[in-house]
Structure formats: structure tokens, C-alpha cells
């Protein structure tokens, strides 16, 4: 199993919105970036990811699971764009802020810290464990 990180502006699609969808999950649509799309194509059902609130909060708030592998993005006719479906698994006991990630030397290699513009990104096993612990899980 691999680990990922999904970034979303909470004013557009928040953790609460994701939770409200329950086990049915929801398309992670609207991605128009090849790198991000390619990562989604690599995802398998059961892979886990962090749910990150960009802009205002800048913090990792919960854990999601891939519940459908890459398929055409229903929000566009353009067949270049695929997306996966994800569902909420559980919230972190306490959110892990970008600031905390930047302050932790062990996370200095995290894509989140180094490439702020990539909206879907891989997370290593080590990074996953560290952030989970910081989040109280």
C-alpha cells in the first residue's frame, strides 16, 4: 500500500464535506495538472492519504482512503483528465500544520514542504508514520 496527500481549499471542498459523503466517497475531480494526475493513476484501492486544507488553515486534518481507481473526470469533456474516488477514514486527533511539518527536520523532504503547488502528492511510509504520531494517532 502506498500513501498520498490530497490538497483542498476548504472553502471549495472541506474535510467536513468529505466526511458527509461517508463510505460512498467522492470523486477527487478538478485536477488539471499532469503530475497530480499521474499520481492518481498510480493509486490502488485501499491506498491511504492525508487530507490537507490549503490557504487559510494550512494543516493536515484527516485520513482518507482510495475507494475507486483512476477513471475519467466527470467535470470535463477533456479525456486527458482522470481522477480517483476517496472516502474519509478518520480525522486526526489534532491537526498537523504546515508550520509543524516545516519545523520537523525529519519531514524536510516532504513534497508538501518543498513544492507547495502540487495538489496531489506521494507521502513516504516514514513521513506517514511521523505525521500520524504528530496528529495523535
Binding mask 21-50 for DNA (x = CB under 7 A): -----------xxxx---------------
Positive or negative: CA dihedral 96, 97, 102, 108: positive
Q: Does 90 bind DNA (CB under 7 A)?
A: no
Beta bridge mates, 60: 52, 96
Residue 18 CB, shortest distance to DNA, in Å, is: 16
C-alpha grid cell, residue 22: 461517508
Q: Which stretch binds DNA (CB under 7 A): 41-49, 64-72, 84-92, 116-124?
A: 116-124
Q: Contact at 8 Å (CB) between 54 and 8?
A: yes
Among 64, 84, 86, 98, binds DNA (CB under 7 A): 98
In degrees and rounded to multiples of 5, residue 36 shows phi and psi of -65, -40
Sheet order of strands, 48-53 included: 26-27, 82-97, 59-72, 48-53, 3-8, 120-123
Q: Does 14 bind DNA (CB under 7 A)?
A: no
Residue 5 CA to chain centroid, in angstroms?
A: 3
Q: Does 99 bind DNA (CB under 7 A)?
A: yes
Binding mask 49-88 for DNA (x = CB under 7 A): -----xx--x------------------------------
# of chain residues touching DNA (CB under 7 A): 17
C-alpha grid cell, residue 23: 463510505
Please give the residue ranges that form the binding site for DNA (CB under 7 A). 7, 9, 32-35, 54-55, 58, 98-99, 102, 115-119
Amino acid at each position: 500500500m502506498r500513501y498520498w496527500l490530497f490538497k483542498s481549499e476548504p472553502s471549495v471542498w472541506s474535510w467536513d464535506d468529505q466526511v458527509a459523503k461517508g463510505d460512498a466517497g467522492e470523486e477527487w475531480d478538478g485536477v488539471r495538472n499532469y503530475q497530480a494526475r499521474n499520481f492518481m493513476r498510480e493509486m490502488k484501492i485501499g491506498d491511504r492519504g492525508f487530507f490537507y486544507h490549503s490557504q487559510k488553515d494550512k494543516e493536515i486534518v484527516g485520513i482518507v482512503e482510495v475507494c475507486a481507481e483512476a477513471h475519467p473526470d466527470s467535470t470535463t469533456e477533456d479525456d486527458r483528465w482522470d481522477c480517483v474516488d476517496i472516502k474519509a477514514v478518520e480525522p486526526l486527533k489534532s491537526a498537523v500544520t504546515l508550520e509543524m511539518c516545516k519545523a520537523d527536520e525529519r519531514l524536510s523532504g516532504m513534497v508538501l514542504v518543498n513544492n507547495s503547488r502540487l495538489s496531489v502528492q506521494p507521502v513516504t511510509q516514514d513521513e506517514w508514520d511521523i505525521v500520524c504520531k504528530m496528529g495523535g494517532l
